[in-house]
Chain A
Amino acid sequence: MRKNKENFIPYYNQFKNKIYNYFLYRVGFNKPLAEDLTSEVFVKAFKNFDEFDEGKKFQSWIYMIAHNHLVNHYKADKHEVSLELMEDFLHYADTSAEEKYEFERVLKIISSMEGSDRDVLQLKFIDELNNQEIAETLEKEEGAIRTQISRSLVKLRKILNINVEE
C-alpha cells in the first residue's frame, strides 16, 4: 500500500541521532563516514517506506536497515578501528576525566571482541534497544539475544578483571 512519503520526515527527525550514534561507535568514531552511512540509511529507508508496517516499531526497522548497511559496508571496505579517533570523540564528551578513562578502556575491549558479542553489547547499552528490538534488528530470536547478552557481559567482565589483575 502506497504511503504518504511526507510521513517519513518525523521518523527521520526522531531517529537521526540514534542511527548516527550507531554508526559512529561502529566505524571507529570516523565522523564523516558515520554521517555518510546515516544519510544512506535514511534514503534507503525512505525508498522502501512503503514496505514498512506501521503497526510495528519504526526503531526496529531502521536499526535493521542500518545493521545490514553496515555489514555491506564492511564487506566492501574493511578497515581498522582508529583508537585515535575514539580518543578524540571521548575527549569532547561532557564527562569527568575518570569516566572518560573508564569509557576508553571498555570501548577498546569491546572493539576487540567478536562481532556477535560486540553487536549485542553496543545495541543493548549504547543504542539502548530492548531485547525484542535487538532480536528484530539482528533477525534472531529474543531468547537467543538474551542469552547472547549475558554471555557477552561475562566475557567482558572477565577481560576487564584480567586487566585489573594485571
Chain B
Amino acid sequence: MDKLDKILSSMPKAKFSRQVDIKVKFKLYRLIFLEKLKSFNALPAYKMALAYKGLAFILAVTAIFSATSIYAYASNDIIPGTPLYPLKIAIEKIEQKIAITSTAKIDNYEKISNRRLQEAVNLSQQENKIVSEKINKNIDTNIANNQKIKNSINKLSDSEAVAAILQAKKRDQKELESLNKIADFAKNRNDEAVLQKVNEAREIINHQEYKQDEEIKYQDIKTFDLQSDNDENNNINNKNKETGSTYKKEKIDKIKSSSEENLLLYNNNSD
C-alpha cells in the first residue's frame, strides 16, 4: 500500500451524535407502533369483533367471579352445604394468613368466630336433623377461636389488652345471645346433641377469664389510653388526660359494675 492509499484509508471517521441517534430511534419506533396499529385496524371486521367479544367475555367472567367472591365472603346466608361455602372458607384462610400482628389476629378470630355462630343460627332454622353435625362443628370452631383470642390477648401489652378485653367481653355477650337462639331452635327440634354443645359453649363463655384483667385494674388509670368505639368516650379521655378527674370517675364507675373485691383493691392502691 503506497502512501496515498494509506492516507485515504486512515481518514478520520465521525460518530453519529447520541442526541440525534435517540431522535431517529424515536421516529423509527413511532413508525413501528403506527404500523402495528394499522395492521390491527386492518383485521377483517369479524376478527376484530371476535377479539372484542373475547375481551368482553374475560372482563365479564372476572367481574362475576369478583362479585361472587365478595358475596360468598360477606354473606351469612352462605352456610355449610351451600355451593359457595368452600369459596367463603378459602377466602377466610387467606385473610388469616394476612393477619400478622396480634391485634389483627384477634380481629380475624373474632370475625370468623362470629360468622360461624351466625351460620349455626341460620342452620338451626332448618327443620331437618342432618344439620346438627354442622351446627356442632360451627360451635366447636367458635370455641376454638375464642381460645385463640384469649391466647392472643395474653400476648398484648397492657394498654392494648384493655381495649381488646373490653371488645372481647362485648362479643361474649353477643355470642351468648346467638347461642340462646340456637338452643331455642334445638329445643323445638328436640335436638339433644346441639343443646349439649350449646351448654358447653355457654359454660366456657361464662367462666371466661382474661389473664390480664386483674392486673390492669390495679394500674394508675391516668396512663390508660383506651381505644373505644364510642367517640364521646375518646373525647373525654383526651380532654381529661391533664386533669384526670372526670376520666377517673368514669373508670371507677365501670370498675364498680364489676367485682367489689377488685374495687377495694383499686381504692387501696390509689391512696
Contacts and interface: CB of A to CB of B under 8 A. Distances in A.
Q: Is the interface of B mostly helix, strand, loop or mixed?
A: helix
Interface string A71-101: 0000000000000000001100111000100
Nearest to A36: B20
A69 to B, nearest CB: 14
A1 B12 CA distance: 39
Interface in B6-61: 7-17, 20-21, 23-25, 27-28, 31-32, 35
B170 to A, nearest CB: 65
B264 interface: no
Interface in A22-77: 24-25, 31, 34-35, 38-39, 42-43, 46-47
Contact of B12 (A8, A47, A93): A93
A126 B11 contact: yes
Interface string A1-21: 000011011001000110011
Nearest to B32: A5
Contacts of A43: 24, 27-28, 31
For B5, B8, B32, B35, the residue with the greatest tally of chain A CB atoms inside 10 Å of its CB is B8
Given A16-B21, A35-B20, A46 B8 contact: no
Given A9-B28, A12-B24, A153-B4, A125 B9 contact: yes
Contact of B8 (A5, A6, A99, A125): A125
B11 A103 contact: yes
Contacts of B9: 125, 128
A121 interface: yes
A129 to B, nearest CB: 13
Range of interface residues on B (Cβ < 8 Å): 20 to 34
Contacts of B31: 5, 43, 46-47
Contacts of A126: 8, 11, 13
A48 to B, nearest CB: 12
A156 interface: yes
A5 B20 contact: no
Interface residues of A, number: 39
A38 B32 CA distance: 19
Contacts of B14: 17, 20-21, 24, 31, 34, 89
B136 to A, nearest CB: 66
Contacts of B24: 12, 16, 38-39, 42-43
For B9, B12, B21, B24, the residue with the greatest tally of chain A CB atoms inside 10 Å of its CB is B12
Interface string B219-255: 0000000000000000000000000000000000000
19 contacts: A6-B32, A16-B21, A17-B16, A20-B14, A20-B15, A21-B14, A25-B11, A35-B16, A35-B20, A38-B20, A39-B20, A39-B27, A43-B27, A89-B14, A93-B12, A95-B12, A103-B12, A106-B7, A157-B4
Interface of A: 5-6, 8-9, 12, 16-17, 20-21, 24-25, 31, 34-35, 38-39, 42-43, 46-47, 89-90, 93-95, 99, 102-103, 106-107, 121, 124-126, 128, 153, 156-157, 160
